């Protein structure tokens, strides 16, 4: 397979995948190394400059999306149901879980100072968080962590993109 | 009793305290506990006056503040020679506040990221059309609590077939069960009237069915349509247009 052929395959893979596709996964399929795949994706993205689409890196993978300036037009078609914004309580809870994961509900509640079970249920339902295990100790409480969907939802490449945690001392 | 409009909404006692500290423009490391406690309690009283239930967490914090206030009033123990400065009794609270504040800001960061992220559309997302014609061409302003009660009374009478009725004083009506029932009724029906769902229901079941419908709307499984003001409310399963095309 020539590089030009590989480039076409890479584009097809990203298009067809239903979730962000990592360079590593693509590299394994087309049997090239990761830097080559990254260079090919960059090349495809450059080609998209004139068109409606672009490739974004989110949740550790590539995804073909419409350009943000098209948003007002796409929204005339309708808005995705999942785009219903989260409540403040749910967003706060999500922020705590993103930074402190794995974390139990009781620990989240200690930070927020209020009960958070309904916020956690909402986040579970929307698959922004998931159970990641059980904490050793009395009652073995459930531990929660954020999901890839969380990263995708907020357009983050990884949790490292969250602002650095610096709590006043 | 009239309708109550909620005052400022706080996520919890920390949120309220941070707001008071910001409004008073005081240093978080040197909180004037007496003044802040007074304002904190004033807020709780204002909730009480509005007939709003005060969450237990707010009361616990009130107790903490009052305890702190009394500790600060007591004369400080003399500093022992070898020990460093005596610990500020406010320290623990301040640390909790700062910790919470960080996550509150992190949540705002996420909200901002979200507004950016939603501008990128992937293919084949379920798009909910919003081009429905507005139903409320005239405001419902004149509708009073009594009107609502009358509508409900009519509805109940409609179902009264003259047979003696057994009233259950207490019945557990799991929401999941009601949801399952509504889903079942929707199988094969492109359109179902809300009223038909309530047939032969006890008051508790009516409430359960109503909540089930709300929940299904929220989950995006159904949509609720009312063609005319106060007209028949019908329920339609959401069409998963995306899944039609393989």
More confident position, B245 or A108: A108
Q: Tell me how close the Cα of B144 comes to any Cα of chain A, in angstroms.
A: 29
Give me the residue spans of the domains in chain A: 3-76, 81-161
CA distance linking residue A9 with residue B68, whole number of Å:
67
For the segment A144-157, the average pLDDT, to the nearest whole number, is 91
Residues of B in contact with A111 (CB under 8 A): 96, 99-100, 103
Residue A114: partners with Cβ closer than 8 Å, 6 or more residues away? A89, B11, B12, B13, B55, B57
Q: What angle do CA B164, B170, B175 make, to 5 degrees?
A: 110
Cβ under 8 Å to A: B residues 18-37: 28
- φ/ψ bin of B76: left (φ > 0), alpha (ψ from -120 to 50), beta (otherwise): beta
Tell me which DSSP letter residue A136 carries: S
| From the candidate CATH numbers 3.40.225.10, 3.30.1330.20, 1.20.1250.20, 1.10.10.580, the one assigned to the domain spanning B145-244 | 1.10.10.580
Whether residue B123 is preceded by a cis peptide bond, meaning omega within 30 degrees of 0, is no
Fold of A3-76: Arc Repressor Mutant, subunit A (1.10.10)
State the CB neighbour count (10 A cutoff) for residue B129.
Answer: 11
pLDDT tens for residues B147-170?
Answer: 778 888 887 777 666 666 666 666
Between CA A9 and CA A135 the distance in angstroms is: 44
User: CA of B7: how far to CAs of A119, B54, B80, B88, B244, in Å?
Assistant: 22, 13, 48, 33, 47
pLDDT digit string, tens, across residues A104-114: 999 999 999 99
Residue B76 is predicted with a pLDDT of: 67
Window from B28-32, B54-58, B143-147 with minimum mean pLDDT: B143-147
**For the whole prediction, is pTM greater than 0.80?**
no
Q: Tell me which residue of B14, B19, B7, B9 sits closest to B65, measured CA to CA.
A: B14
CATH fold of A81-161 reads Arc Repressor Mutant, subunit A (1.10.10)
ipTM at complex level? 0.78
- How far does the CA of residue B110 sit from the closest CA of chain A (Å)? 7
State the average pLDDT over residues B210-228: 85
Domain definitions of chain B by residue range: 13-76+84-117, 145-244
Interface test with A, best of B8, B120, B222 (most A CBs within 10 A): B120
């Amino acid at each position: 397979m020539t590089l030009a052929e590989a480039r076409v395959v890479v584009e097809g893979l990203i298009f067809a995948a239903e979730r962000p596709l990592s360079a590593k996964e693509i590299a394994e399929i087309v049997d090239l190394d990761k830097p080559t795949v990254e260079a090919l994706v960059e090349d495809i993205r450059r080609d998209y400059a004139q068109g409606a689409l672009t490739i974004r890196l989110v949740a550790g993978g590539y995804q073909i999306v419409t350009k943000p300036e098209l948003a007002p037009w796409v929204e005339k078609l309708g808005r995705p149901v999942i785009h219903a914004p989260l409540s403040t309580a749910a967003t706060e809870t999500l922020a705590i879980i993103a930074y402190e994961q794995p974390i139990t509900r009781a620990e989240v509640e200690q930070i927020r100072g209020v009960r958070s079970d309904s916020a956690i249920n909402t986040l579970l339902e929307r698959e922004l968080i998931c159970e990641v295990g059980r904490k050793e100790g009395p009652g073995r409480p459930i531990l929660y962590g954020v999901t890839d969907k969380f990263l995708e939802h907020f357009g983050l490449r990884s949790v490292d993109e969250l602002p650095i945690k610096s709590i006043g001392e | 009793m009239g309708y109550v409009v909620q005052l400022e909404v706080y996520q919890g006692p920390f949120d309220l305290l941070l707001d008071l500290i910001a409004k008073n423009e005081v240093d978080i490391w040197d909180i004037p506990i007496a003044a802040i406690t007074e304002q904190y309690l004033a807020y709780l009283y204002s909730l009480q006056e509005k007939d709003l239930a005060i969450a237990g967490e707010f009361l616990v914090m009130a107790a903490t503040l009052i305890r702190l206030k009394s500790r600060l009033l007591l004369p400080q123990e003399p500093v022992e020679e070898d020990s460093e400065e005596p610990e500020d009794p406010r320290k623990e609270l301040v640390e909790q506040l700062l910790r919470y504040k960080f996550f509150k800001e992190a949540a705002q960061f996420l909200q901002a990221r979200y507004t950016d992220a939603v501008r990128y559309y992937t293919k084949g997302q379920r798009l909910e059309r919003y081009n429905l014609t507005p139903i409320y061409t005239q405001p419902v302003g004149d509708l009073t609590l009594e009107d609502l009660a009358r509508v409900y009374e009519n509805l109940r009478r409609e179902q009264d077939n003259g047979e003696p009725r057994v009233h259950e004083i207490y019945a557990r009506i799991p929401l999941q069960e009601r949801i399952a029932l509504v889903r079942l009724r929707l199988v094969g029906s492109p359109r179902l009237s809300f009223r038909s769902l309530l047939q032969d229901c006890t008051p508790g079941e009516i409430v359960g069915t109503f909540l089930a419908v709300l929940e299904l709307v929220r989950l995006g499984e159904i949509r609720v349509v009312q063609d005319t003001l106060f007209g028949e409310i019908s329920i339609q399963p959401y069409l998963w247009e995306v899944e039609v095309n393989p």
